[in-house]
Structures are given as C-alpha cells and as structure tokens.
C-alpha cells in the first residue's frame, strides 16, 4: 500500500494484540507504519510489515519511556506524534508524563490523578454509586481485617485486586487475573497468598453473577479533547480466554446495539470530562435483568478491533479530533460483525447456545467476520508461521482448560 503524505506519526507502547490492532487501524485508514516499543522480540507485532518494532526489556521504566518518546518526537519535528499506550503500565506512564512531552506530541489521556481514581476498583465503584451505574454486590477487603469479616453474599466468590498495576508487581506461583473461589477456606488462602507476595492495597470481593461467557458485554468509547463522547460501540462477548493470566480476555465478539446500556455511562464520562478511549467490562445479571459493570479501562481494550472491523475505525476518531480538528458527530455503533482471535473449530465447539452459532454462521456467510491478526497485506512468511502456531495454541489451551465442555 502506498504511503500517503501525512501530518502525524503514531508512537505505540506495548507488544500484544492491542498494539497490533491499533497499528492495523492506522495502516488501514492512512497507509502508514506505526512505530512500536515493546519488551520482547516475540508476539503479534514482531516480524510485522506494518510496524517498526523496537525492543527494550525495561520498556515500562519511566526513564526509558520518556527517552523513547523524546527521541522519536525530535526525529520527527515536522510531524505531530500521536502517543498511545496499549497496556495499563504504559497508559499510566502516558498520563504521569503529560507535562513532560515535546510540543509536537499529543497524548489523549486524563490526568494521572483522575486515572488513578478510575482504575482503582474500590474508588471506581464509589463513583458508580453517584451515577446510578449498576455493579455486582461488593465487599472491600483490607489486609488488617485478617479472617475476621462477614460477607453479605455466599459462595462462589469473585476475588480481584483493587489495584491491578500494583498486583502484577508482586508475582506468585498461583497468581491469576481474577479468581472464582468455591469455599471460604479457598478465599482465605488466596488472600494470604496475595498479601504474602507483597501486595498492600485493598481487594474486591464480589457476588458471582451466574451465566457463561455469553452473558458478558464490552463497551468501547472515544471521548474527544473537550470531554464529549463521540463513539460508543457495544460488543456481545460469546467466548473468553480461560488461562490463569488470560481469564476474561475476549476471544469472540458480535457487535450489538443497546442504547440502554450506554446512556448512564455517556453521562458519567462527560460529567468527569474524560478524554480519549475508555473500555468497560459488563455482565448481564438475569436475576434482576440489569447489566452490571465490572471495571473501566482508561484505554482501548485488547479486543478493540471488533470496533474497527465493523466499520468504525477507532484511530480515525483520534486523528479527526487532534490532527484535523473536526467537529465529530456522536455515534452509537449499530453495524454487526463477528470478531474472533480463535479458529472456527474453537468458536463452534465452546460456544454452546445454538442461537449464537446460527448468528455466527449467518455473519460468516455474509462476509462480516474479522480477526485482528489476519491482515492480508501483512503476510510475510515468518508471520504466517507465527499465526499458524498461535491458532494451534488456542486449540490446545481450550482443550486444556475447558476440556470436552
């Protein structure tokens, strides 16, 4: 694809499917390569023809991060550099350095103070109360409570750290992103492991909401530099990953339109003057017919290509806002598309409800299907081999963690 004359250069931090999806969106819309800084010489961004991939083992170190940004900005003084973090630690760095960038860098993020409030689950739920946003029945646990506490709900229990960034700084053998615990004994033992590893912040304990992966939803939004929401795209999750570190990561999504889910969240985002991408994990609770919010990510999610692939390229909103200074109309996306990062075999084996299998077949037949990593113009031999191995890996992982379910 011939590169267009452009006024900006994308600079992305990370190395996973989130980064590749954003880089692909830039390439599709503007025919340009993105410069990416990641930690390892592996992953979906490595050996890509649409990415200039650079490796730095301590990439999320403050000194290295700001060094990479400044060097790139100075190298491209005649361009506007669009800085995008594609993981929690990178997004945090983007916000913390808002006053330290060269004048030709734009970073679409809220202040670090607001960010720290929103990504801390305990504080986020307090804000949800103010705006009438539903979330699961919740108990906030603190280390000093020991085992002397009573829960207002029974097992199974959902456990997750209130401070995810700190949590991953203290690894231990059985560490998971989220825990589903069937007994009080399991709960107490897991709490002990977390705090023994060095974590010091609060832990969120929640009532388990019944329902398989198909009860999940994901909402991706873009708020412009004036704090006005311009895009809201809801996805109906049909399958998630089930590995210990990947649990909750989306694997199959069909775009969905549900204005009722978006109304309160739009008001919330605009009231706090949020800017940039936001992403909400939501689950439908059939007990009361409500959609319960689990958390907010102050960035685009790793599955963000479900939005771009449906015809709503996420980076075009960013460019039209910051580079072209356009007055972008508000849109709730309605276009339907099947997004997946797993082989069809996995989709049809592990998604059980027949109605969703029928819907997937219909969208596949109509050609409304997409995969973040399957990009026809990015098809070098080494990349093809890597993607083939990745697809086989998905088959193995689902067999291992879900078996013959």
The average pLDDT across 366-370 equals 98
pLDDT exceeds 60 at position 161:
yes
Tokens of 119: 């990504």
- 374 with 264, same domain: the answer is yes
pLDDT exceeds 60 at position 3:
no
CA 268 to chain CA mean position, Å: 19
Answer yes or no: is 122 within a domain. no
The average pLDDT across 37-43 equals 93
Last residue of a domain, one of 171, 186, 207: 207
Q: What is the pLDDT of residue 206?
A: 97
Query: What's the whole-number average pLDDT of the chain?
Result: 95
Q: What span, in angstroms and rounded, lies between the C-alpha atoms of 103 and 79?
A: 11
Last residue of a domain, one of 154, 172, 207: 207
Cα separations (Å) of 144 from 148, 200, 228, 399?
9, 10, 41, 40
Cα separations (Å) of 277 from 179, 318, 402?
27, 9, 33
pLDDT band at 33 (very low <50, low <70, confident <90, very high): very high
pLDDT band at 246 (very low <50, low <70, confident <90, very high): confident
Cβ neighbours of residue 321 under 8 Å, at least 6 residues apart? 108, 222, 224, 225, 230, 328
The average pLDDT across 286-299 equals 96
Q: What is the pLDDT of residue 2?
A: 47
Q: What is the pLDDT of residue 4?
A: 53
- Of the listed ranges 3-7, 51-55, 81-85, 395-399, the least confidently predicted one is 3-7
The average pLDDT across 173-196 equals 96
pLDDT band at 319 (very low <50, low <70, confident <90, very high): very high
The average pLDDT across 210-238 equals 98
The average pLDDT across 173-199 equals 96
Burial class (CB in 10 A: 0-12, 13-18, 19+), 45: buried
- 240 with 348, same domain: the answer is yes
- Kindly report the backbone phi and psi dihedral angles of residue 225, in degrees, each rounded to the nearest multiple of 5, phi listed first: -65, -10
pLDDT band at 248 (very low <50, low <70, confident <90, very high): confident
- 174 with 249, same domain: the answer is no
Q: What is the pLDDT of residue 208?
A: 97
pLDDT band at 63 (very low <50, low <70, confident <90, very high): very high
- Kindly report the backbone phi and psi dihedral angles of residue 75, in degrees, each rounded to the nearest multiple of 5, phi listed first: -70, -25
CATH number at residue 203: 3.30.1490.20
Answer yes or no: is 115 within a domain. no
Q: Evaluate the CA torsion angle 324, 3, 338, 15 in order and state its sign.
A: negative
Answer yes or no: is 118 within a domain. no
- 334 with 218, same domain: the answer is yes
Q: What is the pLDDT of residue 260?
A: 87
Number of other CB atoms surrounding residue 217 within 10 Å: 21
- 254 with 363, same domain: the answer is yes
Question: What is the extent of the structural domain holding 290?
Answer: 213-402
Tokens of 237: 């999750």
Q: What is the 3-state secondary structure (H, E, C) of 89-146?
A: HHHHHHHHCCCCCCCCEECCCCCHHHHHHHHCHHHHHHHHHHHCCCCCCEEEECHHHC
Are the beta carbons of 299 and 85 closer than 8 angstroms?
Answer: yes
pLDDT exceeds 70 at position 358:
yes
pTM more than 0.75: yes
Q: What span, in angstroms and rounded, lies between the C-alpha atoms of 288 and 329?
A: 34
Closest CA to 60 of 32, 91, 82: 91
Q: What is the DSSP letter of 6?
A: -
pLDDT band at 247 (very low <50, low <70, confident <90, very high): confident
Percent of the chain exceeding pLDDT 70 equals 99
Answer yes or no: is 382 within a domain. yes
pLDDT exceeds 80 at position 5:
no
Strand partners, 35: 11, 52
The total number of structural domains in the chain stands at 3
Are the beta carbons of 138 and 122 closer than 8 angstroms?
Answer: no
- 84 with 171, same domain: the answer is no
Closest CA to 344 of 239, 215, 243: 239
Q: What span, in angstroms and rounded, lies between the C-alpha atoms of 232 and 92?
A: 23
Instruction: Give residue-wise pLDDT tens across range 194-212.
Output: 999 999 999 999 999 999 9
Answer yes or no: is 248 within a domain. yes
Q: What is the pLDDT of residue 405?
A: 59
CATH number at residue 218: 3.30.470.20
Burial class (CB in 10 A: 0-12, 13-18, 19+), 392: exposed
Answer yes or no: is 384 within a domain. yes
Answer yes or no: is 232 within a domain. yes
- 249 with 311, same domain: the answer is yes
- One-character DSSP codes across 50-97: TEEEEE-TTTTSHHHHHHHHHHHHHHTTTSEEEEEE-SHHHHHHHHHT
Answer yes or no: is 119 within a domain. no
Closest CA to 272 of 113, 51, 42: 113
Q: What is the pLDDT of residue 1?
A: 42
- 307 with 356, same domain: the answer is yes
Q: Which residues of 193-212 are buried (b: 16+ CB within 10 A; e: fewer)?
A: ebbeeebebbbbbbbbbeee
Strands 34-38 and 51-55, by their bridges, are parallel
- 299 with 359, same domain: the answer is yes
Q: What span, in angstroms and rounded, lies between the C-alpha atoms of 5 and 278?
A: 30
């Amino acid at each position: 694809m011939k590169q267009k004359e452009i006024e900006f250069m994308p600079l992305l931090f990370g190395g996973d499917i989130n980064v590749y999806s954003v880089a692909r969106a830039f390439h599709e819309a503007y025919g340009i390569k993105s410069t990416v800084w990641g930690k390892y010489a592996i992953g979906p961004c490595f050996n890509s023809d649409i990415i200039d991939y650079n490796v730095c083992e301590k990439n999320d170190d403050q000194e290295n991060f700001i060094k990479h940004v400044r060097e790139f900005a100075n190298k491209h003084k005649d361009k506007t550099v669009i800085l995008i973090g594609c993981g929690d630690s990178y997004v945090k760095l983007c916000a913390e350095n808002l006053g330290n960038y060269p004048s030709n860098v734009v970073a679409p993020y809220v202040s670090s103070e607001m960010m720290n409030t929103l990504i801390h689950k305990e504080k986020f739920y307090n804000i949800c109360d103010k705006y009438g946003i539903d979330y699961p029945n919740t108990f906030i646990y603190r280390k000093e409570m020991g085992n002397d506490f009573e829960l207002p709900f029974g097992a199974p229990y959902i456990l997750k750290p209130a401070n995810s960034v700190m949590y991953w700084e203290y690894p231990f053998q059985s560490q998971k992103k989220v825990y589903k615990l069937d007994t009080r004994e399991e709960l107490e033992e897991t709490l002990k492991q977390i705090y023994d590893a060095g974590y010091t912040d609060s832990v969120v304990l929640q009532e388990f909401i019944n329902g398989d992966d198909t009860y999940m939803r994901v909402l991706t939004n873009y708020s412009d530099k004036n704090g006005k929401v311009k895009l809201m795209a809801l996805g109906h999750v049909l399958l998630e990953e089930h590995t210990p570190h990947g649990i909750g990561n989306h694997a199959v999504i069909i775009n969905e339109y549900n204005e009722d889910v978006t109304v309160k969240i739009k008001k919330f985002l605009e009231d706090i003057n949020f800017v940039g991408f936001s992403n909400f994990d939501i689950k439908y609770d059939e007990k009361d017919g409500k959609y319960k919010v689990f958390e907010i990510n102050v960035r685009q999610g790793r599955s963000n290509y479900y939005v771009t692939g449906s015809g709503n390229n996420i980076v075009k909103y960013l460019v039209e806002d910051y580079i072209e200074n356009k007055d972008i109309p508000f849109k709730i996306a309605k276009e339907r598309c099947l997004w997946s990062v797993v082989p069809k075999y996995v989709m049809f084996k592990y998604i059980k409800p027949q109605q969703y299998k029928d819907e997937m077949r219909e969208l596949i037949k109509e050609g409304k299907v997409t995969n973040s990593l399957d990009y026809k113009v990015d098809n070098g031999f080494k990349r093809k081999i890597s993607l083939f191995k990745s697809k086989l890996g998905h088959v193995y992982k689902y067999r291992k963690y879900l078996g013959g379910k």
